[in-house]
């Protein structure tokens, strides 16, 4: 009993609940199917005890599985690292350059962002990944990216094994006639292996596993290239978006300022080493970062504050004229609203007639914004924002005489 308790840290046992989510369930199922089928096919096609090359093939296949699972579970359970609750900078004067998080009741350190699903401010947040049911950030960025590299490589190896197994097993069972091709799965092979037999069900399972392997190679491989692209510039996916909005803000207001991304060290190798280290532990404490010579620690946070102020200026006030239950694809709001729901994990918010919303962006059929709440809910840090159908709201027109919104009721057609 003492041996078992030595391996289990009970204060972290709640992290196991991350496995009870559709993302890890699907990811681990794909890994299990491809790995187990590849191992079984290796026994049928290239028995590892017969030749040295067969043994090497089998060992490499096992290593793929071990390394993939090692990096996957580290990305999930090590986590991104979180800013301490009620965090404040050592120099109190720096608070004027930082955003305040009402949920965590502290300031957001440079490069950190609040994750609605984790309900914490995450160090160097890149994104919240449903496949690991956790955020990708400062501490697990290397594990996550390594997993994205190893998974396609392992799937390519497995796909080759599937193809060679099906070829070698069908080669002796296919007979060609003048006008037909016959496949007899019950016919014995000329070189019959005594360990396992290849049947019709095994052939179908191989085709299914081959489809999973090829699909995973393409999908995860694309994610790997996207991650490496931002890592080599020492950015995150969120910071790429912030940089684009900075250029848009400067162009919109025709200011003469120049925005320089502060964390690009000017060398891809230096940027690479900020994430990948021999120890596996990334450089830095997740709060202070090495910056470009022309910038300082709060260059990005100052730009974020400018964008936040600009967002308030550009936001448009709307009044709810139709109730909305928060469904992702509502049936009663029109065909276009149903089929053109935003492809985003951002939440949908319920609407009640008469409520007020400040919209910040949108599409032709959907809008994204913040619901105006009463003072009590605002003081406790409650914030309700997300997508809602455009047809459920109408724009509030301001009366220039008293500067108050004058929303007209939508006319029934």
d(CA 306, CA 290): 22
Task: Note every long-range contact of 39-45, with CB atoms under 8 Å and residues 24 or more positions apart, other chains counting.
Answer: 40/196, 41/161, 41/162, 41/165, 41/206, 42/161, 43/195, 43/196, 44/165, 44/169, 44/193, 44/195, 44/196, 44/198, 44/202, 45/161, 45/164, 45/165, 45/168, 45/169
Within 8 A by CB and 6+ apart from 84, the residues are: 106
d(CA 73, CA 232): 24
Query: What positions carry a catalytic annotation?
Result: 129
Three-state DSSP state, 322:
coil
Do 394 and 355 touch, CB atoms closer than 8 A? no
d(CA 13, CA 315): 43
Rg (CA), the chain: 28
Q: Pick from 167, 194, 197, 196: which is nearest to 183 by CA?
A: 167
d(CA 49, CA 94): 65
If one counts every other C-beta atom within 10 angstroms of the C-beta of residue 273, the result is 15
d(CA 408, CA 86): 43
If one counts every other C-beta atom within 10 angstroms of the C-beta of residue 165, the result is 24
d(CA 329, CA 85): 36
How many residues are recorded in the chain? 413
Q: Please, what is the end-to-end C-alpha distance for the chain in angstroms?
A: 73
Q: Pick from 163, 157, 168: which is nearest to 196 by CA?
A: 168
Within 8 A by CB and 6+ apart from 29, the residues are: none
């Amino acid at each position: 009993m003492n041996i078992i308790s030595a391996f289990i840290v009970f204060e972290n046992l709640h992290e196991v609940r991350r496995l009870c989510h559709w993302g890890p369930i699907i990811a681990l199922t794909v890994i299990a199917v491809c790995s187990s089928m590849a191992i079984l096919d290796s026994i049928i096609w290239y028995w590892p005890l017969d030749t040295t090359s067969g043994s090497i093939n089998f060992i490499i296949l096992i290593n793929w599985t071990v390394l993939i699972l090692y990096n996957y579970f580290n990305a999930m359970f090590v986590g991104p690292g979180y800013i301490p609750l009620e965090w404040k900078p050592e120099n109190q004067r720096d608070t004027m350059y930082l955003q305040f998080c009402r949920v965590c009741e502290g300031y957001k350190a440079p490069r950190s962002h609040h994750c609605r699903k984790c309900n914490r401010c995450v160090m160097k947040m890149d994104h919240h990944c449903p496949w690991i049911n956790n955020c990708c950030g400062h501490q697990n960025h290397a594990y996550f990216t390594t997993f994205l590299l190893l998974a396609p490589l392992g799937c390519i190896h497995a796909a080759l094994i599937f193809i060679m197994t099906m070829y070698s097993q069908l080669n002796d069972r296919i007979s060609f006639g003048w006008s037909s091709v016959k496949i007899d799965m019950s016919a014995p092979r000329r070189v019959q292996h005594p360990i396992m037999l290849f049947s019709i069900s095994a052939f179908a399972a191989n085709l299914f596993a081959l489809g999973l392997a090829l699909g995973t190679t393409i999908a995860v491989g694309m994610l790997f290239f996207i991650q490496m692209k931002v890592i080599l510039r020492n950015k995150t996916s969120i910071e790429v978006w912030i940089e684009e909005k900075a250029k848009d803000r400067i162009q919109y207001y025709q200011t003469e300022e120049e925005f320089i991304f502060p964390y690009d060290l000017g060398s891809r190798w230096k940027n690479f080493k900020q994430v990948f280290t021999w120890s596996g532990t990334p450089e830095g404490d997740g709060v202070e970062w090495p910056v470009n010579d022309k910038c300082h620690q709060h260059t990005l946070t100052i730009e974020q504050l400018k964008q936040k102020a600009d967002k308030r200026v550009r936001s448009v006030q709307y009044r709810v004229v139709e109730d909305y239950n928060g469904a992702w694809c509502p049936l009663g709001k029109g065909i276009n609203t149903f089929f053109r729901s935003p492809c985003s994990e951002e939440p949908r918010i319920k609407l009640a007639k008469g409520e007020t919303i400040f919209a910040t962006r949108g599409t032709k059929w959907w809008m994204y914004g913040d619901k105006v709440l009463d003072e009590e809910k605002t003081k406790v840090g409650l914030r309700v924002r997300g997508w809602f159908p455009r047809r459920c709201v109408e724009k509030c027109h301001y009366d220039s005489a008293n500067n108050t919104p004058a929303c007209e009721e939508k006319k029934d057609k």
